Structure 1
Amino acid sequence: MEFTLEPFANDSFKILKSLMEHQVEVKGHWYVALSQQEIADMNHMSKLKTNRILRELKEGNFVIPYQNKRGKYEITEQGHKVLRLMLKNNT
């Protein structure tokens, strides 16, 4: 059995990681086009909790709305840095 720190990561990291795993590339731009309900369902969380976490991630500049469109998210460089650090320490 492989050792992993992921079960100890908080829900914000779980949402951020989930966003990273579901990015799509269109014309050289990466973004996530999932509804909050879809994100909540994938992470076994309520929509209300997911909404709160996404708001916190936006306020912390880890994600931003992609082209100011509702329901589309872009992970910022700061968000990618957190993911790199957490995933690096997870191996």
Structure 2
Amino acid sequence: MSYRENYQRMIHRNKATGYAIYDCLLKAYRKHAESMDVSGITDRDISRISEMLLVSERWIRHILCKYHLFFVIIDQYYPEEEWKDEETDV
């Protein structure tokens, strides 16, 4: 079986996970579009979606890159107020 066939089988089996990832990314994107003048997904969004859906961040980034869904925003330039409760002082 070729690499492409394996990939297609994996996508077919994980279709529900793909839709869940896309739904979460879309919600985060809309939230940023309403609250900021930039639109995209932050690294913190990717981490939170990864924890929520129990998928790897690498897989989410793969989906973002492969399908060119959203831009990834660098967090340090666009800090979000609602994430402050998760930051810990070391």
TM-score band w.r.t. shorter chain: 0.3 to 0.5
Q: What TM-score do you get using the length of structure 2 for normalisation?
A: 0.45
Structure whose residues are more often helix by fraction: 2
Q: What TM-score do you get using the length of structure 1 for normalisation?
A: 0.45
Larger Rg: 2
Bigger relative contact order, structure 1 or 2 (CA pairs below 8 A, ≥6 apart)? 1
Structure whose residues are more often strand by fraction: 1
